[in-house]
A and B are shown apart, each in its own frame.
Chain A
Amino acid sequence: SQQGEEDPQALSIQEGENATMNCSYKTSINNLQWYRQNSGRGLVHLILIRSNEREKHSGRLRVTLDTSKKSSSLLITASRAADTASYFCATDFKVAQKLVFGQGTRLTINP
């Protein structure tokens, strides 16, 4: 069963706008990670946020984590055409050390 569920499934915005993607999960986690996948390629790690952290930044990326709501968001600021990709959240269970991915959000940046 999928642990994380992303919302929206697809997002299309204009270059320069901000893009926000959300992830919800079901059980207690140790950390939550965000990955990016260009079409037909492997995934690339973007950011990891631990369960005791609330917010983390990396360049144009900002990730928040609300463990009380079991949800996380990924914000990409000042989007660029090169940001067009699918974005996935991944969580690890506290009871079993494995990495489980959600369905992903397909982000399209229009020039």
Chain B
Amino acid sequence: DGGITQSPKYLFRKEGQNVTLSCEQNLNHDAMYWYRQDPGQGLRLIYYSQIVNDFQKGDIAEGYSVSREKKESFPLTVTSAQKNPTAFYLCASSIVAGDTEAFFGQGTRLTVV
């Protein structure tokens, strides 16, 4: 089945630790996105990538890092510099950045303990 997969579904992190969220797609999409969603809020763009080996900062990139070494993979690292990382993280992909519908993963809920 084609789709976009995020793992893990739930993640717990101790303060001061870095943690990496996985996002994989087998849709052959060029564009991939990472969003953060806080309770009862909308989605805020963290990073996006229009094509492999290239990515741009979104509105709230501070404390996060990404890589796009393979077309199908766009991992997000939440670093210790992110002061309030507890949130729901959503990954998405689309054929072309912004111009076509985006397909979303089921999300990763990150909790700092």
Whether A42 contacts B104 in the complex (CB less than 8 A), given A97-B99, A98-B98, comes out as yes
Nearest CB on B from A95, distance (A): 11
From B43, B96, B105, A88 is in contact (CB under 8 Å) with B43
Q: Which residue of A lies closest to B42 (CB)?
A: A103
- The proximity string for B residues 89-113 relative to A, scoring 1 for CB distances below 8 Å and 0 otherwise, is 0101010111111111111010000
Whether A41 contacts B92 in the complex (CB less than 8 A), given A98-B33, A98-B97, A98-B98, comes out as no
- The proximity string for B residues 34-47 relative to A, scoring 1 for CB distances below 8 Å and 0 otherwise, is 01000011111100
Q: Is B56 an interface residue (CB 8 A)?
A: yes
Q: Is B58 an interface residue (CB 8 A)?
A: yes
Number of interface residues of B (CB under 8 A): 31
Q: Is B50 an interface residue (CB 8 A)?
A: yes
From A2, A31, A43, A104, B104 is in contact (CB under 8 Å) with A43
Q: Which residue of B lies closest to A29 (CB)?
A: B98
Seen from chain A, the residues whose Cβ lies within 8 Å of a Cβ on chain B are 1-2, 6, 30-31, 33, 35, 40-45, 48, 88, 90, 92-93, 96-104, 106
Provide a sorted-by-A list of 17 A–B residue pairs whose CB atoms are within 8 angstroms: A33-B102, A43-B92, A44-B104, A45-B102, A90-B102, A92-B98, A96-B56, A97-B31, A97-B50, A98-B98, A99-B97, A99-B102, A101-B35, A101-B43, A103-B41, A103-B42, A106-B40
Seen from chain B, the residues whose Cβ lies within 8 Å of a Cβ on chain A are 31, 33, 35, 40-45, 48, 50, 56, 58-59, 88, 90, 92, 94, 96-107, 109
7 nearest A-B pairs in the assembled complex, by CB-CB distance: A92-B98, A42-B104, A97-B97, A103-B42, A101-B43, A45-B101, A97-B98
